[in-house]
Amino acid sequence: MGLREYKTKRKFGKTPEPEPKERTEGDQLIFVVHKHAARNLHYDLRLKMDGVLKSWAVPKGPSLDPSIKRLAMMVEDHPFDYKDFEGVIPEGNYGAGSVIIWDRGFYRHPSVKDKKESEKLLRDGLKKGDLKFVLNGKKLQGEFALVRMRKDEKSWLLIKKKDRHASEVSILKENRSAVSGKTLEDVAEAGPRESFKQKKVKQIRLREALEDEDLKDAPVGPMPHNIKPMLATLVKKPFDHPDWIFEMKWDGYRAIAEIRDGDVSIYSRNRISFTQKFLPITDALRKLGFDALLDGEIVVVNDQGHPDFEMLQNYQKSGSGHLLYYVFDLLHFREHDLTGLPLLRRKELLKKILPSSPKIKFSDHVLKEGILFFNVVREKGLEGMIAKHSQSAYQAGKRSRQWLKVKARLTQECVIAGFTEPGGGRKYFGSLVLSMYDEDELKYIGHSGGGFEEKDLKVIFNKLKPLIQKKCPFKIEPETNTPVTWVKPELVCEVTFTGWTEDGIMRQPVFLRLREDKPAREVVKEN
């Protein structure tokens, strides 16, 4: 194919991509997989052959599951130097968008290790439309095949062969560059500075917001510090109402953000700081360029766009998933206290001032139709929705009936009060003894032996070990079939369950996850 097509599609000087240069020898057989956020997100698999990179665009990305066949569209050959390309292809250029080196390493033919021999067999495979190869990268390992489909020359299938590297776990969860450790969003943000046009748009948007009639109704005053967010009351059923709006209930950490003179402080319901913990969000907020007090939820979404609480809890360690701050309320903006304005007007202003940013999102709503919205939320397996009165003022620190939450699943936070011995081949513990506060008293509400993944058992056990105490934390010791090791009631977890018995015990509680963001003392019955 050569590099002619590559050359004609691009204007060098306008794009940072490398100029075409063919390499004839030397260099080992390398492969690279680019993750490329162009018009559509896709992965580009590139194999070095005959001095260039043979390339396929894989819309859904590679899979390690041998039962999955991924479409791979053959595209133009890329120059060998493209193996090092990571960055932003500016707007107006071919393939505009950000690119990371998602994976890189060496490859060979499965039956020979010698480079020359390998290259010959690979070349034959490519010609025949049946290319078998072994990858040795940071993420992709083991044998794969690219098989040309009958319908046309360009359509191929990328298939993982059965071997010890095969797995049903999605490798795409690992979303960082194999070279720089950056995500696509990191690269996009570090890309070209705001253009003159973007700056202008931002200024106009802010000026319009300042001239807004609503802002004139809002009293001027200093921004409050360390506020507690307004909370919603749990209700059982969704409803329709012309005066209410409906938002997604995000499965993440509630987070207040103060932006003051370019300083950003983000904190939880209990004023635990998130400023350092979620630095990409802090940095994105700093770039907003105005003073504001925001209320929202920090989430990590997976590649399907679903919030994933476990990914959020592990975010600092794993970096997996996409970190986002969904902002749903604007409490203070450029010296104006907006908490007394009707919610809908606060949200209109918020929408006006929030620029489109990869990390900061406006949490949108639907009007009136709560039941329809709830059905969609439940079908998608999401946590639930929040109904808010469209004219409501913001009442910091209050659990209000102007904000209602409807859960798609029945869940309860519990304080872990003890555990039982493991049995039947399991390690660490058998079940957890669960409790919650009723007024000032810790009450037993059941025990759960299900829902734990192998790794949960160890993590939980290690957190409980230092809390072990002789004394039962309940006033009246509950009756149990097996002896219980009591712990200091500190660690909070969340369970799903099917209902309450008349004695206030949960039916069939199943462990969901730890909730280390919640203090034990605040765990009460959720309705």
CB of 132 to Mn ion, least distance (A): 24
CB of 33 to Mn ion, least distance (A): 11
CB of 185 to Mn ion, least distance (A): 17
CB of 21 to Mn ion, least distance (A): 20
User: Is residue 521 helix, strand or coil?
Assistant: helix
The residue among 113 and 154 lying less far from Mn ion, judged by its C-beta, is 154
Beta bridge partners of 55: 46, 75
CA distances in angstroms from 79 to 95, 154, 419, listed in the order given: 16, 19, 60
The residue among 32 and 387 lying less far from Mn ion, judged by its C-beta, is 32
CB of 148 to Mn ion, least distance (A): 20
Q: Which amino acid, residue 260?
A: R
Q: Report yes or no: 435 and 466 within 8 Å, Cβ to Cβ.
A: no
Q: In terms of Cα–Cα distance, which of 23, 19, 11, 182 is closest to 87?
A: 182
The residue among 84 and 217 lying less far from Mn ion, judged by its C-beta, is 84
Beta bridge partners of 496: 411, 510
DSSP per-residue string spanning 254-289: EEEEEEETTEEEEE-TT--B-TTTTHHHHHHHHTT-
SS (H, E, C) 378-404: HHCCCCEEEEEECCCCCCCCCEEEEEE
CA distances in angstroms from 521 to 130, 332, 441, 506, listed in the order given: 63, 30, 10, 19
- Tell me, yes or no, if 249 is annotated catalytic: yes
The residue among 1 and 459 lying less far from Mn ion, judged by its C-beta, is 1
The residue among 91 and 479 lying less far from Mn ion, judged by its C-beta, is 91
The residue among 36 and 388 lying less far from Mn ion, judged by its C-beta, is 36
The residue among 72 and 248 lying less far from Mn ion, judged by its C-beta, is 72
CB of 38 to Mn ion, least distance (A): 6
User: Is residue 171 helix, strand or coil?
Assistant: helix
C-beta nearest to Mn ion: residue: 36
Q: DSSP code of 487? A: B
CB of 42 to Mn ion, least distance (A): 6
Beta bridge partners of 270: none
CA distances in angstroms from 207 to 196, 200, 203, 286, listed in the order given: 17, 11, 6, 19
SS (H, E, C) 71-99: EEEEEEEEEHHHHHCCEEECCCCCCCEEE
The residue annotated as part of the active site, out of 54, 249, 347, 518, is 249
Burial of 8 (0-12, 13-18, 19+ CB in 10 A): exposed
- In the complex, which residues of this chain contact Mn ion (CB under 5 A)? 36, 44
- Pair of tokens at residue 251: 């499965």
Catalytic residue set: 249
